[in-house]
Amino acid sequence: MAWFETRRVLILLVALGLFAMACRTVTDPDVWWHLRTGQLIVQNHSLLHTDPYSFTRNGQPWVNHEWLSDLLMYGLYRFSGWGGLIVVFGAMTALTLMLVFLRSPGKPYFAAVALILGAYASAPGWGVRPHTVSLLLASIFLILLDRSETQPRRLWWTIPLMVLWVNLHAEFALGIGLLALFLVGEVLEAVLGQVRNRGANRLRDLALALLACLAVVPLNPNTFRMYTYPVETLRSPAMQQYIAEWASPNFHEAKYVPFALMLLALVFLLSASSKRIRPRDLVLLIVLSAGALRSVRHISVFVLVAVPILSELSADWWHQRVRAIRSSTPRSKLRLAVNVIVLAAFLVFSVVRVHTTVAHQAQTEAESFTPGVVAYFAGHPLQEPLFNHYNFGGYFIWNLYPRYQVYIDGRADLYGDDFLHDFAKTYYVTGSDWEKSIRQWKIKTVVLPPDAPLLAALRLSGEWSEAYEDSQAVVLVHRDPSRLGH
């Protein structure tokens, strides 16, 4: 019966709630090319090092830094369908945040409130995607770093974890960054005379773990290329300009209000609470806050560090002003029964939520992607080359490759900044040379969302006719493709 005490029921409810929140239908346009890549790796028993999917980059070097995640996603899809993907990645997200809960000091009630706020702040980045795997590994990294202060041997688990991470996703650089920030923060504490636990031995161990993690980075199919690849991605101005999750958060949008509330709460509590957080934690908070303000993608990383700090400060501030009310009421069977009923009800809700989410995947696919266009092309072979929208590329790779190749897809790093700028000029019809991409690649078929500015421009030119239209996409074909050449 100890499992049904109020505190433990609260923890179980938080875990179930996070799992139910995180199980959502698949809407990420990149999931499709991840599935296709995993399928090709399994079929060919070899990794991909050049691009097979697009005619604009065909045969050029491709740093497939997510190959192991691609295999994981395809394996889950092959053996358990969308349900397996949704449940496993939902569980990963819930586990990521529950590890944050374990790192949160103080009473679980304050930690639970901070965690729920953090969950809402990071929710826009959730989904069936390799980024979810990276967040789980980052959360494991943080708990290893925290616990290694009193259990030094845990620190060395970061090394095999890094070998795994560098093959799953290029965000392995986050793990190295966390190690570096821990080292800088604890050196600062030593300078300020706030040496804890093992002192110099701790700094030595952190430095050695950092060097060891850097040393194992080449243990991946792309070898030494992975030292520079994450930096190149972060420094891409085109990705920040055109890809929503790499842009700064727009606080006029409701989905970023929880993140704004977290920032405001931290600023208030840092000044109002009598408790002073460690210099190391302050270093982590400042750096990751700056990262989250620069890019929506980094809000989830900020949450991993901010929630424990918010929990600790809020508990201290509350107890300064409100005396804890200790109930002398003896535990009763009624309280136990209520806890059991609430937990059972929430468990049923979670199961129903997951079942409903999986059942709606087909509807989500129809509303978010272009199954109508794929069906149309099955009966009406398209005239190549094809100019497609950025978000359509992955779906076409899964459904049309190898019969057809795409113009562009979600692998922005493969195409490069110049190509993304040219695509944007053509799509938005900006500048005098907006037709450059159409002419350069001798485009004969265009597939774009109904509100695309390029559609209006091509219709006005009189050289294009409409072949297909639905609520998700419009297909235009050139009236005289022979004029474009081959």
Q: What is the pLDDT of residues 367-396, one digit of tens each?
A: 999 999 999 999 998 899 999 999 999 999
Rounded to an integer, the average pLDDT of 435-464 is 95
Cα dihedral 308, 310, 311, 315, rounded to 10, equals 150
Q: pLDDT-based confidence at 339, cuts 50/70/90?
A: low
Residue 220 CB partners (closer than 8 Å, separation 6+): 65, 166, 167, 226
Q: How many CB atoms lie within 10 A of CB 299?
A: 27
CA distance 74 to 35: 5
Please list, in sequence order, all residues whose beta carbon lies within 8 angstroms of the beta carbon of residue 332, skipping any fewer than 6 positions away.
none
Could you count the other beta carbons within 10 Å of the beta carbon of residue 161? Answer: 18
Percent of the chain residues past pLDDT 70, beyond the cut: 92
Write down the pTM of the prediction: 0.92
pLDDT at 147: 94
CA distance 484 to 469: 24
Tokens of 192: 């300020």
Q: In which residue are the tokens 């399928």 written?
A: 39
Residue 329: is its pLDDT beyond 50?
no
Q: How far apart are CA 306 and CA 15, in angstroms?
A: 19
